[in-house]
Amino acid sequence: MISFIKNLALEAGRLCLEGQKNLSLHDLEFKSEKDIVTETDKKVEAFLVKAILARYPDHGVLGEEYGAVQTKSGLRWIIDPIDGTTSFVHRLPFYSISIALEKEGEPVLGVVYAPALNQLFYAEKGKGAFVGDTAIHVSETRELDKAVMATGFACLRAGRQKNNLPIFNEIVPKLRDIRRFGSAALDLCYTALGSLDGFWEMNLNIYDIAAGTVILKEAGGVVTDFTGGGQFPEKGIAAANKALHNELVRILTGFHVL
């Protein structure tokens, strides 16, 4: 199953690269106060949904653009065709295709592909996490002042005046450094890889983080909401190696997620 999904992600990546090369700003659509969508988003998601349902017709699907197809199988694919559309539109490489399989409400398989970087991350529950053919593991950083973390902000800020800024101002002085890539799926994968030591964000959707959480957990990381519980992404997402996660949550617990 995972080989099939990995190959689908690679093919979807080719569609993204082709679409990015031919992108026109006239192709942009503003679907909400915080989201933009391109024709490539729609094309990639349609390709993935069609291929997955042809292979697994009794499975459900939840797509960022497609919406939800429910079944009684207990299995559902969660798809984000382009996580990081702003980067995609501006021809920056930090965007990804995110595909997860959820079983009875729990993500158990995740594939994240960054086509412009040619990085393919994947994991299955209980089988470890990989980039390409290489097994990956979270960092061993133990102190916040030695940690490099990532976060994000809503790409369109109208109506979101706070938009993570109070948390940002509280955490950043305690860290060694901060990064902002604009793709939650990649932030989770880079934390799994050990390139980042942690990641937090608010105002995300399940399709942003479903695949990445599988990959991070299989790489030895911890993923919770801002209070240390399991209600993510509704109550924010806090992800890090085990040593840093408690410190991150200790700070985040004091902030209310809108």
Phi/psi zone of residue 104: left (φ > 0), alpha (ψ -120 to 50 degrees), beta?
left
80 is in an annotated binding site: yes
Catalytic residue among 5, 82, 99, 171: 82
Active site residue 208: yes
Is 145 annotated as ligand-binding? no
Q: Are 198 and 174 in contact (CB under 8 A)?
A: no
Strand 96-103 vs strand 106-114: parallel, antiparallel, or unpaired? antiparallel
Given the residues 40, 45, 52, 64, the one annotated as active site: 64
- Of the candidates 187, 222, 229, which has an alpha carbon nearest to the alpha carbon of residue 208? 187
The one-character DSSP state at 203 is: S
Q: Is residue 79 annotated as part of the catalytic site, yes or no?
A: no
Q: Which of 201, 208, 218, 225 is catalytic?
A: 208
Residues forming beta bridges with residue 222, ordered by sequence position: 240
Is position 45 annotated as part of the catalytic site?
no
CA distance 139 to 86: 28
208 annotated as a binding-site residue: yes
Active site residue 82: yes
Q: Give, rounded to a whole angstrom, the gap between the first and last alpha carbons of the chain.
A: 37
27 is catalytic: no
Choosing from 41, 45, 80, 201, the catalytic residue is 80
Task: Respond yes or no: is residue 140 known to be catalytic.
Answer: no
Query: Sign of torsion, CA 46 50 51 52?
Result: positive
| Residue positions counted in the chain | 258
| CA atoms within 13 Å, Cβ hemisphere of 124 | 6
- Residue 105 sits at the vertex; the CA angle it makes with 65 and 71, to the nearest 5 degrees, is 65
> Exactly one of 45, 83, 197, 225 is catalytic; which is it?
83
Nearest to residue 83, comparing CAs of 70, 71, 92? 92
Structure tokens at 169: 């101002």
- Determine the 3-state secondary structure of 170 from DSSP: helix
Active site residues: 64, 80, 82-83, 85, 208
Q: Which residues are annotated as a binding site?
A: 64, 80, 82-83, 208
List the binding residues for Mg(2+). Answer: 64, 80, 82-83, 208
